[in-house]
Amino acid sequence: MSANTSKAAIDIRNTSKVYGKSRVNGVVALDDVSLQIRDNEFFTLLGPSGCGKTTLLRLIAGFEQPTQGEILLFDHHLEGLPPYKRPVNTVFQHYALFPHMTVSENIGFGLEMQGKADAEIHKVVDEVLALVQMEYLANRKISEISGGQQQRVALARALAPRPKVLLLDEPLSALDFKLRKEMQLELKRLQLDTGITFVFVTHDQEEALTMSDRVAVMNEGQILQVGSPKEIYDHPARRFVADFIGDINILGAEILSSDSARASIRLSGGFETSASLPDQSDALSGKVSVAVRPEQLEFIDDQESAALRCKIKRITYFGSGSHYDLETAEGESITLRQQNRLGGHRNYEVDDQVNIALNEGSLQILAD
């Protein structure tokens, strides 16, 4: 093994998963996915339902076997290993806590199955209960605690055996908004405290951006882009990624010339500027789509330097800022987001003609 590969906690190589009989009439849940998850990182698999993220998690956990490809855990092949022989634990979407056991018994179950001594089980269970702040519920039955508490117990149960990798399958989806926010911070803290690699599955892009060290965006069984939340947000490589994460404006443009990282472009309105090229951009030329975030647009007075001339269609006020729905002269719909500062700038009204400037560094050319 080279030094490079040994840094990966999980190394997924050209893995496919097909449900059903053959590739032709089966359902392809994962399509030739390769991915490396580093040790000690909070890694998120993000995508809409049915994109294959849960399948990938189940392949790592061992509940499913890959149709093709291989998965390595700290350089050990996982092929053929049943789930109970993998040093990996899962926090299930609906927690799957054992209803006939107490909170402590649930948390101690993994250690007990590993054949640990009673004294050690007690010690670890107490430690983990303290870690998730649940000491006072140790002897309760599962049916006697709330959803948020069950969530913490599920987390404690999966952490107690100190797995090499913790898999989390949309664990926050059943919680209400406030509790979810709280648990997001909690999860991040736990990951830092324990130093365990977390692989987190979610369809909530905000959740993914706030917690993760790196995010993989998935769709239709493929990984579209892997990067830090900032890279993913600022430089979405694919149209799907741009659409899926946050609000974004997509404009038509034409490539005039390009080097390896940037290209000169002309927007459909005629304005010439430059934009970043995505990584896999060999084939890009001619007509392309350019993405820009609503907060990177700005009203200006000077018509000469304006990138776009627009008409205001609608204004949505939301306290700290406002959304402006605009229509360009070419008929493209875009949005602009602006912080509200008292006396800071001009007041605009619906149907006003406005001049818009684009923050040049924020333009990103998309691959389809």
Partner 1 sequence: MTKSSNHQLPESNLSASVIAAEKQLKKTRMLLLAPGILIILLIGILPLSIVLTYSFMTPGDYGGVKAEFSTAAYVQLLFEEDIFDETFSFTSSYLQIFGRSLALAIFATVASLLIGFPTAYFIATRTPETRSAWLFMITIPFWTNLLIRTYAMLLILRDEGAINLGLMKLGLIEKAIPMLYTNFAVCLGLIYAFLPFMILPIYASLEKLDFRLVEAGFDLYANRFKVLKRIIIPLAKPGIAAGCILVFIPSLGAFITPELLGGGKSLMIGNLINIQFGSSRNWPFGSAIALILMALVLVSLMIYVKRSGEKGASAHG
**Which chain residues interact with partner 1 by CB under 8 A?**
61-63, 82-85, 88-90, 92, 94, 96-102, 109-110, 113-114, 139, 141, 157-158, 161
Instruction: Output the smallest distance, CB 60 to partner 1, in A.
Output: 11
Residue 92 or 348: which CB sits closer to partner 1?
Answer: 92
Instruction: Output the smallest distance, CB 198 to partner 1, in A.
Output: 15
Q: How far apart are CA 210 and CA 45, in angstroms?
A: 13
Comparing CA positions, the residue from 209, 214, 288 lying closest to residue 251 is 288
Residue 139 or 359: which CB sits closer to partner 1?
Answer: 139
Residue 84 or 317: which CB sits closer to partner 1?
Answer: 84
Instruction: Output the smallest distance, CB 50 to partner 1, in A.
Output: 19
Residue 8 or 167: which CB sits closer to partner 1?
Answer: 167
Distances (CA, A) of 254 to 258, 271, 272: 11, 11, 9
Residue 113 or 185: which CB sits closer to partner 1?
Answer: 113
Residue 59 or 334: which CB sits closer to partner 1?
Answer: 59
Residue 7 or 141: which CB sits closer to partner 1?
Answer: 141
Burial (CB count <10 Å: 0-12, 13-18, 19+), residue 36: middle
For 312-318, which contacts have Cβ atoms below 8 Å and span 24 or more sequence positions? Answer: 312/348, 312/349, 312/350, 312/351, 312/352, 312/354, 313/350, 314/350, 315/348, 315/349, 315/350
Instruction: Output the smallest distance, CB 154 to partner 1, in A.
Output: 9
The tokens for 255 are 């490539």
Instruction: Output the smallest distance, CB 12 to partner 1, in A.
Output: 19
Residue 100 or 341: which CB sits closer to partner 1?
Answer: 100
Residue 95 or 244: which CB sits closer to partner 1?
Answer: 95
Instruction: Output the smallest distance, CB 171 to partner 1, in A.
Output: 13
Instruction: Output the smallest distance, CB 124 to partner 1, in A.
Output: 13
Residue 94 or 314: which CB sits closer to partner 1?
Answer: 94
The tokens for 336 are 């602009």
Instruction: Output the smallest distance, CB 170 to partner 1, in A.
Output: 13
Instruction: Output the smallest distance, CB 221 to partner 1, in A.
Output: 22
Q: How far apart are CA 276 and CA 269, in angstroms?
A: 19
Q: What residues are paired with 71 via a beta bridge? A: 12
The tokens for 59 are 């392949």
